[in-house]
Amino acid sequence: MGYFSNIFNGIKTLLTGMSVTGKVFLHSRKGAITQQYPDNRETLKMFERFRGEVVMPHNENNEHRCTGCQKCEIACPNGSIEIIWDRKVNPETGKKKKQIDKHIYHLGLCTMCGLCIEACPTDAIVWAQNYENAVYDRSYLTKVLNQPGSKLMDGVEE
């Protein structure tokens, strides 16, 4: 009898399995989890903490908050940040002050670990939620974060 009960139990388990997939099949119209990606660009919203790439926000006067302290450069494990800076004389106070010339960010080396943003004392760099980072040439991945002609925001000190 074990022979036949084996067969019946076997068939029963097979039918149970088929009922699971069958149920999905019948509800396939609204159950699909596929994201039809390029079509849903408008509705696709990343979470606000999503780590897309590092950017440096500028205000309307083309001013940023980076003092050129290089803490992010030291914190970065992969050397994806390079800061070219200079000491320039502030015409008002007459003191020499560190100023960034270029804040270079290699997106191609970045592992999105977030240590640079943790390290930044003035919140000069933040995460952007940009997720389309593919480019045709690797050189596009090297970015200068501060806009040309931008300068340090007033009142930002280390």
Partner 1 sequence: MTKSIHQWLLSFMSETATSITEMVLIALVYLAIFAVAGLYLVLLERRVAAWFQLRIGPNRVGFQGLLQTMADALKLVSKELTGTDRADKFLYNLAPYFVIISALMALSVFPFTQELQAFDINIGIFFLIAISSIGVIGILLGGWSSNNKFSLIGAMRSGVQTISYELSVGLSLLTMILLTSSLQLSEIVEVQKNGWLIVQGHIPAIIAFMIYMIAGTAETNRAPFDMVEAESELGAGFHTEYSGMKFAYFFLAEFINMFIISAIATTVFFGAWLSPFGITESIPWLGVFWFLGKTLLLVLLMMWFRWTFPRLRVDQLLTLEWKYLLPINLVNIVLMALIVWLNLTIQL
Partner 2 sequence: MKTEAEKIAPTATNINFKSEEYFVNMGPQHPATHGVLRLLLTIDGEIIKKVEPDLGYIHRSIEKMCERNSYQQIVHLTDRMDYLSSHINNEAVCLTVEKALQLEVPDRVKVIRTIIGELTRIASHCLWWGVMGMDVGALTTYFYGFRDREMINDIFEETCGARLTMNYNIPGGLMWDIHPNFVKRTKEFVAHFKTKIPEYDRLLTGNIIFQKRMKGVGILSKEDAISFGASGPVARGSGYSCDVRKHHPYSALDKVTFNEALKTEGDSLARYQVRIQEMWESLSIIEQLIDNIPEGDYKVATNTVIKLPKGEYYQKVETARGELGVYIVSTGTKNPYRVKFRSPGFSNISLLNHIAVGGKIGDLVATMATLDIVVPDIDR
Residues within the interface to partner 1 (CB under 8 A): 7, 14, 17-18, 20-22, 24-25, 28, 31-34, 36
Choosing from 58, 73, 85, 114, the residue that interacts with partner 2 (CB under 8 A) is 114
Take residue 152 and report the two structure tokens written for it: 């340090």
Of the pair 109, 153, the CB lying nearest partner 2 is at 109
Least CB distance to partner 1 at residue 37 (A)? 12
Of the pair 51, 151, the CB lying nearest partner 2 is at 51
* Contact between 9 and partner 2 per CB under 8 A: yes
Least CB distance to partner 2 at residue 2 (A)? 14
With CB under 5 to 8 Å by kind, the binding choice for 111 among partner 2, partner 1, none is partner 2
With CB under 5 to 8 Å by kind, the binding choice for 84 among partner 1, partner 2, none is none
With CB under 5 to 8 Å by kind, the binding choice for 64 among partner 1, partner 2, none is none
Main-chain dihedrals φ then ψ at residue 96, nearest 5 degrees: -80, 140
Pairing of strands 96-106, 81-89: antiparallel
Least CB distance to partner 2 at residue 61 (A)? 30
Choosing from 1, 33, 132, 139, the residue that interacts with partner 2 (CB under 8 A) is 33
DSSP class per residue in the chain: -HHHHHHHHHHHHHHHHHHHHHHHHHTHHHH-----GGGGTTT----TT---EEE----TTSEE------HHHHH-SS--EEEEEEEEE-TTT--EEEEEEEEEEETTT-----HHHHH-SS---EEE-------SSGGGGEEE-SPTT-EEPTT---
